Structure 1
Amino acid sequence: MFVQIIQGHVRDAGQLKAALDQWVRDLSPDAEGWLSSTGGVTDRGEFIGLACFTDRVSALQNSDRPSQDKWWQRTSQLFDGEVTFHDADNAVTDNPGDPLKAGFVQIMQGKGTDHDRAVELLLECTPEWAAFRPDILGTTACAYGDGEFTVAVYFTNEQEARAGERKQPPPDLAAQMAELQEIMIGPPTYFDLHQPWIRTP
């Protein structure tokens, strides 16, 4: 799966949501390979979104459409300053539940030393994680650049997510989390989407 991550500061979250809703309504029917989009604006006005396609070719074909360019020229005016894009070719998902029902999404960004091992760890012990954290409905992990990554975690709601954070994991899951910490370079950045915008065809 190919994922494009888009982020930047916005002046008006409502206007941006309306623009994205308009894309889904008017442009997505002709966007071949589009699988889903997840996004939202944090309390500090930072937008972050993940646009998921079957492959890079489909995503590029979508970007090359005149209607897409016209829409983006208007939508980009809603951002203050630079808009950043990251492209991830081999994104992976793990969905023990239905991410479309998520009431809270937390996106983590950072950098690591071993992408392949990090993906292995994220996909290990899936039944155990589902039993330990039933509040987690799904995860999408993307790697790009020189060890950089973006991980979106879909939760039932924020209250259950915060309660889950405080739980002490069993030894095998704790060891998995510790190894992930060792792979990471510096602390990650978190984006809390209290009102996530999740769209599918």
Structure 2
Amino acid sequence: MFIQIIQGKCRDADRLHQLSDEWRETLGPTAEGWLGGTYGVTDDNEFVGVVRFESKEAAARNSARPEQGAWWQKMQECFEGDVTFHDCDNASLFLQGGADDAGFVQVIQGRLTDPERFRRFMEQPMDTLHEARPEIIGGTIAIDDDGYFTETVAFRSESEAREGERREMPSDMQQQFAEEMSQVQDLRYLDLHHPWFATAMRGGSAQA
């Protein structure tokens, strides 16, 4: 799976949301290899879009479509300053991967000194995490070629997420988590209080 992360300071969040919905309805059905996306705006107006494709090649073909370029021109007008992109071939889902009815999404970003070690850690069975933090639906993890990672964690509600944060995890899990986070530089947490989602329809059913 390939994930592209799009970020920038937005000047018109309502218009941006409208254009995102417009893409899902008009361009999404004909975007080859598009799987879905998670989107939101933080309290300080930073937009985050985490868009999933079957492959990097499929994403590139979508970007080359004239109608995609025309749509993006309108989208750019919603931003103040530059928009950044992180293209991640190294991407995967964990637990259920997320849900389109999630009420809260936390985005975690940072730079890894050992991306391969972090990837192996995230590919472990998540049974213990699910037992310790049942309020976590699932999420995505994406690492770009420079070792910059973006993780999304989906929850049913923010209140459940905050309650879960206060619970103490098993000691061995705490130790593993602390070891992995020790290699992260420039760590950021971005809270999407009102996320929205898009999922591709394949053969009459949603495809994550």
TM range (shorter): over 0.9
Q: TM-score, normalised by structure 2?
A: 0.92
Which of the two has greater helix per residue?
1
CA root-mean-square deviation:
1.2
Greater mean deviation of Cα atoms: 38-47 or 113-122: 113-122
Distance in 2 separating the partners of 1:98 and 1:87: 20
Aligned to 2:189: 190
Residue 100 of structure 2 aligns to a residue whose secondary structure is helix
Q: CA 1:98–1:146 in structure 2 vs 1: closer, same or farther (change >3 Å)?
A: closer
Which deviates further from its counterpart, 120-129 or 105-114? 120-129
Q: Gaps spanning 5+ residues in structure 2: where? A: 201-208
Instruction: State the distance in 1 between where 2:195 and 2:174 align.
Output: 28
Match for residue 50 of structure 2?
A: 50
Look up the match of 2:155: 155
Q: Is the 8 A contact 2:16 2:75 kept in 1?
A: yes
Q: Return the alpha-carbon distance in structure 1 between the equivalents of residues 91 and 97 of structure 2.
A: 18
SS in 2 for 1:99: coil
Alignment of 1:1-201 (within 5 A): 1-96=1-96, 98-186=98-186, 188-201=187-200
Alignment: residue pair count:
200
CA distance in 1, matches of 2:108, 2:181: 13
Equivalent pair of 2:94/2:139 in contact (CA under 8 Å): yes
Q: Is the 8 A contact 1:96 1:130 kept in 2?
A: no
TM (norm. structure 1) is: 0.95
Percent sequence identity is 44
8 A contact 2:103–2:194 mirrored in 1: yes
Contact 1:96/1:136 (8 A) holds in 2: no
3-state secondary structure, aligned to 1:149: strand
- For the 8 Å contact 2:105–2:191, the answer to whether it is kept is yes
Distance 1:107 1:90 in 2: 17
Moved more, 39-48 or 90-99: 90-99
What amino acid does structure 2 have at the position aligned with 1:194?
H
Structure 1 residue 98 displacement after superposition: 4.8
Contact 1:97 1:136 in 2 (8 A): no
Q: Name the CA distance, whole Å, in 2 between partners of 1:9 and 1:63.
A: 21
Q: Residue by residue, what CA displacement relative to the aligned partner does 1:61-87 show, whole Å, maximum 9, x if unpaired?
A: 000000000000111111001000110
Query: Which string of whole-angstrom CA distances, capped at 9 and with x for unpartnered residues, describes residues 171-191 of structure 1?
Result: 2211211111222124x1111
CA distance in 1, matches of 2:52, 2:63: 13
**CA distance in 1 between partners of 2:98 and 2:173 (Å):** 22
> How far 1:167 moved relative to its partner?
1.1
Closer, same or farther: CA 22–164 of 1 in aligned 2, 3 Å: same
Question: Does the CA-based 8 Å contact 2:135-2:164 persist in structure 1?
Answer: yes
Q: 1:87 is matched by which residue type in structure 2?
A: D
